[in-house]
Structure 1
């Protein structure tokens, strides 16, 4: 097996796409995205120094999630939350990002494609405006995916 590559690309003014082929079967990869105990083991890139304090996930269409993350540079932990718009087991998860502010957050769609003990994961963020994606890119919110997916792969590899 070759070393997987994570590709990131701004595909339009409002869209950002990440693609990675993960060495692991689709059902286990999907479970790592939908089981709170597994999710918290790989979600934040270790080099970022963040800690997931709590992780509540009801991964079903209409369900909600809430993550509370701390970092030594933040005076208070930060909550990330939203709702699941569409969940198809082993195929797709679509969620909102409602962290606050006056403008709606991005809508994230992650698809999972089975490829014989490997899974092609495509993460697609649709931001509400060009400026929102510009800001996410400047802040570093669109970085760290290679490390994050390597952590996922270490968890699910066969």
Structure 2
């Protein structure tokens, strides 16, 4: 198998797809309600206090959140503007790289799988492959935390 070099446009975007054990309405709220965001937003090893989260979920509305590293208290504020809100299936918003002026566009699409949700996350507009890689790792870890909110059902179902 040959590994082809990525084009610059491929280096400046990525997609992560996860299936979550929750209805898409609940997953949508996890993305838009500050109390729910505080439970998962940010990679493992970070906390995002409810007091740092604000959302105005409408096209043109803003959002903000500050991730705080658990080990040293370093703060990473981020935020942006909502571009598109189509509840409960789609969110498009800008995202500012913590600690820089770099801004990218995030698209979250939620597909109904009959009580479960396929979440397709796409982010584009990075200035470098290195930035893209670091942000990808952060989101992947965050999505592990999000999935932890919706553990698979372990109790057997009884039928009438």
TM-score range, shorter chain: 0.7 to 0.9
Q: Determine the C-alpha separation between the residues in 1 that align with 2:93 and 2:75.
A: 22
Change in Cα spacing, 1:62 to 1:14, as seen in structure 2 (3 Å) is same
Structure 1 stretches lacking a partner, 5+ long? 1-9
Shift of 1:77: 2.1
TM-score (norm 1): 0.77
Q: Deviations over 1:52-75 (max 9, x none)?
A: 13111112211101112222446x
Report the alpha carbon displacement of residue 146 of structure 1 after superposing the two structures with TM: 4.6
Counterpart residue number, 1:134: 130
- Partner of 1:92 in structure 2? 90
Question: Which residue of structure 1 lines up, in the alignment, with residue 143 of structure 2?
Answer: 149
Could you tell me which residue of structure 1 aligns to residue 41 of structure 2?
A: 43
Aligned partners of 2:105, 2:140: CA distance in 1, in Å?
21
Deviates more, 1:92-101 or 1:106-115: 92-101
User: Structure 2 length as normaliser, TM-score?
Assistant: 0.76
For the residues of structure 1 that align with 2:150 and 2:88, how far apart are their CA atoms? 14
The CA distance in 2 between the partners of 1:14 and 1:144, in whole Å, is: 15
CA RMSD of aligned residues (A): 2.4
CA distance in 2, matches of 1:141, 1:128: 9
In 2, distance between residues paired with 1:25 and 1:70?
29
- Structure 2 unaligned blocks of 5 or more: 1-6, 154-160
- Give runs of ≥4 in structure 1 deviating > 6 Å: none
User: How far does residue 144 in structure 1 lie from its aligned partner after superposition?
Assistant: 4.5
Q: Would you say how many aligned residue pairs link Structure 1 and Structure 2?
A: 141
